[in-house]
């Protein structure tokens, strides 16, 4: 469906009534709208510093709220985000004003528990957490980690970051120039993935959720062939464990409507968010380290232009 949207902005891209009615993430996490914004505008925009501390600070400030208009609100009021010149008290005041006006500042995609750092409001505690990370020299420690698991463990040690969020942030940071670890080397299953796995397997034969995700990742080509499915990946990039983790989450969500008789772990039978087209997709941007061979017609266009083949 994503590839069809790149070449045909109007659709329809599927006959499946569930997929046409409700919102789902992309097969590849990095292709989602918010991840695309993170990569293109927050991490790799040419006028931004590539110093590890700056890349970390921008990435985490964006991801703590995970909402594009929150990031743009901050930059609209105080200018280009930079750790060297940023006044987090000013950021807090901007977000207080937004909340008092009835605006949402957090995405609905993740449940974002606030660390208890003595501040009055949730976002104030999150900003205090980010300041603590910077004061602790966390960006430098992450840059010296030996693998993705080490990045995850370092993030997991901070208050308010459970296993799911710590792993998601590790992946987000790994998109950037400060890290370049193999995504296939580590995965942590979130609650949505646990629900999806429970709906897919009567028994996992003693395998952990992470082992199931890794097995599916390792054997994907075998099962595409067995099922007669043509799947070329993301411009040649095969599914990674983070993508399969997300896919199990979306399968669990899909099954709420398509197969409500399977309760899974959550027992939920409704999907909250309906799908509404966002129009023409912008040209995709992925981490340069992936070396994806994106067709030139997708890569050559002016600012604010969508994909027109």
In this predicted structure, what is the pLDDT of residue 307? Answer: 42
Domain residue limits at 240: 2-29+187-258
> pTM (2 decimals)?
0.92
If asked whether residues 201 and 224 sit together in one domain, one would say: yes
If asked whether residues 231 and 95 sit together in one domain, one would say: no
> Dmax over Cα atoms in the chain, in whole Å?
57
Neighbours of 138 (CB within 10 A): 20
Is residue 107's pLDDT more than 60?
Answer: yes
* Single residue among 130, 161, 183 that ends a domain in this structure: 183
- Domain assignment of residue 290, yes or no: no
* Single residue among 183, 198, 217 that ends a domain in this structure: 183
The values of phi and psi at residue 82, to 5°, are: -155, 135
Give the tens place of pLDDT for each residue, 118-168: 999 999 999 999 999 999 999 999 999 999 999 999 999 999 999 999 999
Q: With the CA atoms of 262, 243, 188 and 273 taken in that order, what torsion angle do they form, in degrees rounded to the nearest 10?
A: -50
Give the tens place of pLDDT for each residue, 183-239: 999 999 999 999 999 999 999 999 999 999 999 999 999 999 999 999 999 999 999
If asked whether residues 139 and 238 sit together in one domain, one would say: no
Nearest to 177 by CA among 54, 52, 284: 52
């Amino acid at each position: 469906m994503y590839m069809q949207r790149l070449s045909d902005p109007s659709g329809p891209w599927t006959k499946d009534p569930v997929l046409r009615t409700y919102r789902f993430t992309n097969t590849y996490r990095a292709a989602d709208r918010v991840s695309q914004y993170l990569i293109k505008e927050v991490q790799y925009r040419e006028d931004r510093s590539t110093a590890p501390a700056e890349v970390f600070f921008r990435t985490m400030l964006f991801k703590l709220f995970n909402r594009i208009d929150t990031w743009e609100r901050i930059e609209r009021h105080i200018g280009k985000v930079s750790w060297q010149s940023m006044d987090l008290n000013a950021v807090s005041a901007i977000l207080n004003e937004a909340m008092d006006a009835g605006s949402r500042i957090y995405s609905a995609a993740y449940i974002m528990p606030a660390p208890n750092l003595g501040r009055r409001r949730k976002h104030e505690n999150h900003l205090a957490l980010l300041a603590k990370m910077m004061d602790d020299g966390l960006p430098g420690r992450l840059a010296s980690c030996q693998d993705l698991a080490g990045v995850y463990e370092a993030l997991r040690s901070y208050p308010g970051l459970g296993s799911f969020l710590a792993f998601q942030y590790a992946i987000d940071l790994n998109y950037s120039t400060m890290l370049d670890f193999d995504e296939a080397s580590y995965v942590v299953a979130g609650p949505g993935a646990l629900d999806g796995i429970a709906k897919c397997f009567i028994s996992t034969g003693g395998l952990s959720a992470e082992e199931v995700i890794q097995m599916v990742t390792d054997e994907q080509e075998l099962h595409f062939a067995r099922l007669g499915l043509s799947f070329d990946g993301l411009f040649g990039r095969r599914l990674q464990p983070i993508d399969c983790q997300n896919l199990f989450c979306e399968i669990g969500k899909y099954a709420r409507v398509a197969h409500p008789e399977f309760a899974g772990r959550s027992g939920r039978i409704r999907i909250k968010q309906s799908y509404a087209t966002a129009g023409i997709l912008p040209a995709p941007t992925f981490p340069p380290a992936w070396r994806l061979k994106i067709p030139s017609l997708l890569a050559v266009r002016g600012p604010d232009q969508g994909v027109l083949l």
